[in-house]
Amino acid sequence: MVGLLGRNGVGKTTTLRTIMGLTPSTGGSIRYKGVEIDSKKPHQIALAGIGFVPEERWIFPNLTVHQNLIMGIKPGQYGKKVAEGWTIDRCYENFPILKERCNSKGGHLSGGEMQMLAIARTLMGNPELILVDEPTEGLAPIIVEVVGKVIKQINAYGTTVLLVEQKLQLVMGLVQRIYIMSKGTIQWEGTPEVFRGQEEIRKKYLEV
Protein backbone atom coordinates (compact mmCIF):
# COMPACT_ATOMS: atom_id res chain seq x y z
CA MET A 1 0.00 0.00 0.00
CA VAL A 2 1.30 3.41 -1.04
CA GLY A 3 0.16 6.80 0.27
CA LEU A 4 0.05 9.90 -1.94
CA LEU A 5 0.03 12.99 0.29
CA GLY A 6 -0.08 16.74 -0.21
CA ARG A 7 -2.17 19.82 0.40
CA ASN A 8 -5.47 20.38 -1.40
CA GLY A 9 -5.10 21.31 -5.05
CA VAL A 10 -1.61 19.91 -5.68
CA GLY A 11 -2.74 17.23 -8.14
CA LYS A 12 -3.42 14.08 -6.11
CA THR A 13 -6.96 13.47 -7.37
CA THR A 14 -5.90 14.43 -10.89
CA THR A 15 -3.19 11.76 -10.68
CA LEU A 16 -5.72 9.07 -9.79
CA ARG A 17 -8.18 10.25 -12.45
CA THR A 18 -5.43 10.27 -15.06
CA ILE A 19 -4.34 6.73 -14.18
CA MET A 20 -7.98 5.68 -14.54
CA GLY A 21 -8.34 7.38 -17.94
CA LEU A 22 -10.92 9.91 -16.72
CA THR A 23 -8.59 12.90 -17.18
CA PRO A 24 -6.39 13.03 -20.32
CA SER A 25 -2.66 13.03 -19.64
CA THR A 26 -0.67 15.95 -21.03
CA GLY A 27 2.74 14.33 -21.01
CA GLY A 28 4.84 11.45 -19.80
CA SER A 29 3.48 7.93 -19.74
CA ILE A 30 1.41 5.64 -17.53
CA ARG A 31 2.43 1.98 -17.42
CA TYR A 32 0.59 -0.81 -15.65
CA LYS A 33 2.40 -4.14 -15.49
CA GLY A 34 4.79 -2.78 -18.10
CA VAL A 35 2.01 -1.90 -20.57
CA GLU A 36 1.24 1.67 -21.64
CA ILE A 37 -2.35 2.53 -20.67
CA ASP A 38 -2.36 6.26 -21.51
CA SER A 39 -4.60 5.86 -24.54
CA LYS A 40 -7.01 3.33 -23.06
CA LYS A 41 -10.62 4.09 -22.11
CA PRO A 42 -11.65 3.92 -18.41
CA HIS A 43 -13.54 0.64 -18.92
CA GLN A 44 -10.49 -0.90 -20.61
CA ILE A 45 -8.31 0.17 -17.69
CA ALA A 46 -10.84 -1.33 -15.27
CA LEU A 47 -10.83 -4.60 -17.21
CA ALA A 48 -7.03 -4.60 -17.05
CA GLY A 49 -7.28 -4.87 -13.27
CA ILE A 50 -7.47 -1.34 -11.82
CA GLY A 51 -10.33 -0.22 -9.59
CA PHE A 52 -11.19 3.34 -8.52
CA VAL A 53 -13.01 4.58 -5.43
CA PRO A 54 -13.58 8.32 -6.09
CA GLU A 55 -13.97 10.90 -3.35
CA GLU A 56 -17.54 11.56 -4.58
CA ARG A 57 -18.27 7.79 -4.21
CA TRP A 58 -20.50 7.71 -7.31
CA ILE A 59 -22.95 5.16 -5.95
CA PHE A 60 -26.34 4.78 -7.66
CA PRO A 61 -28.79 6.46 -5.25
CA ASN A 62 -31.92 4.88 -6.71
CA LEU A 63 -30.55 1.32 -6.66
CA THR A 64 -30.41 -0.84 -3.56
CA VAL A 65 -27.14 -1.75 -1.88
CA HIS A 66 -27.39 -5.22 -3.44
CA GLN A 67 -28.02 -3.80 -6.90
CA ASN A 68 -25.09 -1.40 -6.52
CA LEU A 69 -22.82 -4.35 -5.74
CA ILE A 70 -24.04 -6.24 -8.80
CA MET A 71 -23.17 -3.19 -10.91
CA GLY A 72 -19.54 -3.64 -9.84
CA ILE A 73 -19.23 -7.07 -11.46
CA LYS A 74 -17.13 -6.98 -14.62
CA PRO A 75 -18.35 -8.62 -17.85
CA GLY A 76 -17.79 -12.36 -17.79
CA GLN A 77 -17.60 -12.58 -14.00
CA TYR A 78 -21.27 -13.04 -13.20
CA GLY A 79 -22.12 -16.62 -12.28
CA LYS A 80 -18.46 -17.61 -12.10
CA LYS A 81 -16.40 -18.19 -9.00
CA VAL A 82 -13.26 -16.10 -8.86
CA ALA A 83 -10.63 -18.01 -6.87
CA GLU A 84 -9.92 -16.11 -3.67
CA GLY A 85 -11.85 -13.21 -5.21
CA TRP A 86 -14.59 -10.86 -4.12
CA THR A 87 -18.20 -12.00 -4.35
CA ILE A 88 -21.36 -10.45 -2.91
CA ASP A 89 -21.25 -12.95 -0.04
CA ARG A 90 -17.65 -12.05 0.74
CA CYS A 91 -18.49 -8.35 0.63
CA TYR A 92 -21.34 -8.90 3.06
CA GLU A 93 -18.99 -10.87 5.31
CA ASN A 94 -16.44 -8.04 5.38
CA PHE A 95 -19.00 -5.22 5.35
CA PRO A 96 -21.75 -6.47 7.71
CA ILE A 97 -23.48 -3.08 7.70
CA LEU A 98 -24.08 -3.51 3.95
CA LYS A 99 -25.69 -6.87 4.55
CA GLU A 100 -28.02 -5.23 7.06
CA ARG A 101 -28.87 -2.50 4.55
CA CYS A 102 -28.88 -4.72 1.43
CA ASN A 103 -32.41 -3.70 0.42
CA SER A 104 -31.97 0.00 1.22
CA LYS A 105 -31.47 2.45 -1.63
CA GLY A 106 -28.00 3.92 -1.94
CA GLY A 107 -29.33 7.43 -1.48
CA HIS A 108 -30.71 6.53 1.95
CA LEU A 109 -27.37 5.46 3.42
CA SER A 110 -25.23 7.46 5.83
CA GLY A 111 -21.93 8.90 4.65
CA GLY A 112 -19.98 6.03 6.19
CA GLU A 113 -22.29 3.44 4.67
CA MET A 114 -21.97 5.09 1.26
CA GLN A 115 -18.18 4.94 1.55
CA MET A 116 -18.32 1.25 2.47
CA LEU A 117 -20.60 0.61 -0.51
CA ALA A 118 -18.30 2.51 -2.88
CA ILE A 119 -15.33 0.42 -1.74
CA ALA A 120 -17.24 -2.87 -1.82
CA ARG A 121 -18.68 -2.20 -5.27
CA THR A 122 -15.18 -1.55 -6.63
CA LEU A 123 -13.94 -4.78 -5.04
CA MET A 124 -16.71 -6.69 -6.84
CA GLY A 125 -14.64 -6.16 -10.01
CA ASN A 126 -11.75 -8.01 -8.31
CA PRO A 127 -9.08 -5.39 -9.10
CA GLU A 128 -5.42 -6.14 -8.52
CA LEU A 129 -4.79 -2.44 -7.88
CA ILE A 130 -7.32 -0.14 -6.23
CA LEU A 131 -7.07 3.67 -6.25
CA VAL A 132 -8.78 5.16 -3.19
CA ASP A 133 -9.36 8.93 -3.09
CA GLU A 134 -10.00 10.62 0.29
CA PRO A 135 -12.05 7.75 1.76
CA THR A 136 -12.53 9.39 5.18
CA GLU A 137 -13.56 12.85 3.98
CA GLY A 138 -16.52 14.10 6.04
CA LEU A 139 -16.78 10.97 8.19
CA ALA A 140 -17.05 10.81 11.99
CA PRO A 141 -13.85 9.72 13.80
CA ILE A 142 -15.28 6.31 14.77
CA ILE A 143 -16.20 5.63 11.11
CA VAL A 144 -12.75 6.82 9.98
CA GLU A 145 -11.26 4.07 12.12
CA VAL A 146 -13.58 1.47 10.58
CA VAL A 147 -12.72 2.58 7.03
CA GLY A 148 -9.02 2.40 7.87
CA LYS A 149 -9.39 -1.19 9.10
CA VAL A 150 -11.30 -2.12 5.93
CA ILE A 151 -8.58 -0.71 3.67
CA LYS A 152 -5.90 -2.50 5.68
CA GLN A 153 -7.81 -5.77 5.35
CA ILE A 154 -8.22 -5.30 1.58
CA ASN A 155 -4.45 -4.91 1.28
CA ALA A 156 -3.88 -7.95 3.50
CA TYR A 157 -6.01 -9.99 1.09
CA GLY A 158 -3.47 -9.22 -1.64
CA THR A 159 -4.87 -6.13 -3.41
CA THR A 160 -2.39 -3.33 -4.01
CA VAL A 161 -3.69 0.05 -2.77
CA LEU A 162 -2.79 3.59 -3.86
CA LEU A 163 -4.30 5.79 -1.15
CA VAL A 164 -4.88 9.54 -1.25
CA GLU A 165 -5.79 10.72 2.25
CA GLN A 166 -5.46 13.91 4.33
CA LYS A 167 -5.38 12.26 7.76
CA LEU A 168 -1.64 11.74 8.22
CA GLN A 169 -1.85 9.49 11.28
CA LEU A 170 -4.22 7.15 9.48
CA VAL A 171 -1.90 6.95 6.47
CA MET A 172 1.15 6.35 8.67
CA GLY A 173 -0.52 3.30 10.18
CA LEU A 174 -1.50 1.79 6.84
CA VAL A 175 1.06 2.32 4.09
CA GLN A 176 4.50 0.89 3.41
CA ARG A 177 5.64 3.86 1.30
CA ILE A 178 4.80 7.56 1.10
CA TYR A 179 4.98 10.01 -1.79
CA ILE A 180 4.51 13.72 -1.13
CA MET A 181 3.23 15.88 -3.97
CA SER A 182 3.35 19.65 -4.47
CA LYS A 183 2.39 21.57 -7.62
CA GLY A 184 1.92 18.36 -9.58
CA THR A 185 5.33 16.84 -8.87
CA ILE A 186 6.70 14.45 -6.25
CA GLN A 187 8.82 16.32 -3.72
CA TRP A 188 9.68 13.51 -1.33
CA GLU A 189 9.37 9.74 -1.10
CA GLY A 190 10.25 7.20 1.52
CA THR A 191 8.94 4.90 4.22
CA PRO A 192 6.70 6.01 7.12
CA GLU A 193 9.58 5.19 9.48
CA VAL A 194 11.91 7.64 7.73
CA PHE A 195 9.14 10.23 7.31
CA ARG A 196 8.59 10.42 11.08
CA GLY A 197 11.90 12.27 11.35
CA GLN A 198 11.19 14.66 8.45
CA GLU A 199 9.58 17.51 10.39
CA GLU A 200 10.77 20.14 7.90
CA ILE A 201 9.24 18.22 4.96
CA ARG A 202 5.98 17.82 6.85
CA LYS A 203 5.75 21.53 7.65
CA LYS A 204 6.70 22.59 4.12
CA TYR A 205 4.34 20.35 2.15
CA LEU A 206 1.57 19.13 4.45
CA GLU A 207 0.80 21.59 7.23
CA VAL A 208 -1.52 24.55 6.55
Q: What is the pLDDT of residues 3-45, one digit of tens each?
A: 999 999 999 999 999 999 999 988 899 999 999 999 899 999 9
Look at the chain and report how many structural domains it folds into: 1
3-state DSSP assignment of residue 62: coil
- Band of residue 76 on the pLDDT scale cut at 50, 70, 90: low
- What's the rounded Cα separation, in Å, for the pair 125 and 50? 9
Convert the pLDDT of each residue in 92-136 to its tens digit. Answer: 999 999 999 999 999 999 999 999 999 999 999 999 999 999 999
Give the pLDDT of residue 100: 96
* Confidence (pTM): 0.91
Domain that holds residue 85: 2-205
pLDDT at 81 over 70: no
Model confidence band, residue 208 (pLDDT cutoffs 50, 70, 90):
low
Farthest-apart Cα atoms in the chain, separation = 53
CB-CB contact of 124 with 118 (8 Å):
no
**CATH number of the domain enclosing 73:** 3.40.50.300
